Structures are given as C-alpha cells and as structure tokens.
Amino acid sequence: MRTIRTIAEMRAWLGNCRAENRSVGLVPTMGAFHAGHHSLMRAAKDEQDAVVVSLFVNPTQFNDPKDLQNYPRSEANDAVEASELGVDVLFAPPASEMYPEGFATTVSVAGLSEILEGAERGPGHFAGVCTVVCKLLNIVAPDAAYFGQKDAQQVAVVKRMVRDLDLSSKIEVLPTVREPDGLALSSRNVRLSSEDREQALSLSRALFAARDAVAAGERDVERIRAAALAQIEDPEYLAVVDPLTFSPLSTIAAPALVAVAARVGPVRLIDNLVLEPVPAPVAT
C-alpha cells in the first residue's frame, strides 16, 4: 500500500489507474479505523479494481475546537489495517493541502443541512462536510464512494450534493456495524470510560424500542417516540423522520428513520435505525 500526501501525486497515481481501465473506489474517513471502516474497505475492494482510503480530520466540520483537538488520531495503526485489507492508497493530506492559503469556497446544501445535526452542530458543520467530500470526489473521481449508515443525515446531504452538482460518482451506503451489545461503532467510543460506555447503550436501546413498537403494529410517531424516550435520558434529539428529506413524521406508512443524539461523558454520540412497517395481511 502507498501513502500519498499531495493532490498532484494522487492524480498522477489515478492517471495510471485510468490508463489501465481500472475502476476506483473511495472510502472517505477521518481515521481511527474500526470494524465499520473495515466493512467499507472490504466492500470497495470487492466491487472495484483499486481502492483509495482518504484519511483527513477535516477541521471545517467541527463546531467545537475541543472536539477537533480530542478527535482520536492513529495514522500508523490505520495504515497497517488498511494495508492488511488490500487498500491500494491511503490518501492522507495535511490541512494546508486541502485548504491552501486563500481558500474561499464553501459547498452547502440548504434545508437538509439545517435540521437535527445541523441545528445541534451549527450551520457550518454540513457545509464543512460537503466541501471536503466534494473536493475528495473531484480529486479522486471514484466510480463509487462508500459511506456508513450510522451517519445517515451526512449521507443524505452528500447524496443531495452529488445529485444537485451532477457529480458522477455513485454513493454506496453500508449498514451500521455494532458491538454485540448493540453499541454503534464510532471512532469516538475510545474516549468512553467503562461507566460511560454502559450509559452509551441507551442510544441503541432507544432505537430498538422504537423498532419493536413498530414491529408490534404501532404507527403513531408520538407513541413510538415515547417508547424510545423511556430508554434514554435527556437526548439532544430523538426524531422520527423521512429517511430522504429528514422531515418529521406524524405517522409511519412507509420506511422511516429514527435518529438520536446524546452526550455521554466527554463524547457526543449519534445513532439511527430504519423503521420498516410490515403491511397488515390482506383479508381473504
């Protein structure tokens, strides 16, 4: 595996790939790899001829300077793991390469970026995400880019950006990877104490309670939310929304998304789950 730090070198390497008619998959990450990242790399490896994993802790998407400072960084270990998974290139540029002096352009998606995560993290969060993802898609020009379902709103924003700007890369979304006890994997989990980790399970328990309520036939969103809220104290939000627009729902008649965010100890965690109502059997 090769580690590349500059856009010019990345494009030169990609030029050789294209000359050989090799398809390219991109896995955008901020590093501190876990099994969720590994699943994205494996999918890219299975489906594409060459795999690029970007490793860039993007400063423009952090609304809290302490969160940026404390975000886990483990490039040496990440490189070993990516290499073992058959990744071809680890693209790990410095901030000065991605945002050179005089950088003045921002990509933003109106509406969808302003609710839930956008409301909690500030208007610059998803603008930072969109700007860096747009740059990565332009630099790598992958046939497909691979994202995890855990960041569902981010995925929805990126998909809208790709559609609106007529970018050619396909966006592939893989299921959230969880610990056996239900905790969604996150790079931030390493900052949880043992007590915090136990408390963190309340997020997935709330989601599973919502899922169970829907499976039992409940369709009223307020009652579904009540079942979920019984499992978690003081979330920043717990919403049942349309999975594409993130508009709030009052009843569930089609697949919906339940999303939750909460602070646990020093860490802010998010999670979500798709709710799929089963149609009632037709009387015969």
Q: What are the contacts of 219-223 at 24+ separation with CB within 8 A?
A: 219/251, 219/252, 219/253, 219/277, 220/250, 220/251, 221/248, 221/249, 221/250, 221/251, 221/252, 222/250
CA dist., res. 272 & res. 258, Å (int) = 5
The binding site for (R)-pantoate consists of: 61, 154
Q: Which of 24, 37, 52, 132 is catalytic?
A: 37
Angle 181-185-191 from CA coordinates, rounded to 5°: 100
Which 8-state DSSP code applies to residue 187? G
Helices (H), the chain: 7-19, 35-47, 65-70, 75-84, 95-98, 117-121, 124-140, 152-164, 194-215, 221-229
Contact 157, 112 (CB under 8 A): yes
CA dist., res. 81 & res. 15, Å (int) = 25
Does the annotation count 37 as an active-site position?
yes
157, burial (CB in 10 Å: exposed 0-12, middle 13-18, buried 19+): buried
Token look-up 């969720």 returns: 36
Does residue 152 sit in helix, strand or coil?
Answer: helix
| Tokens standing for residue 13 | 């390497």
**Active-site residues: which are they?**
37
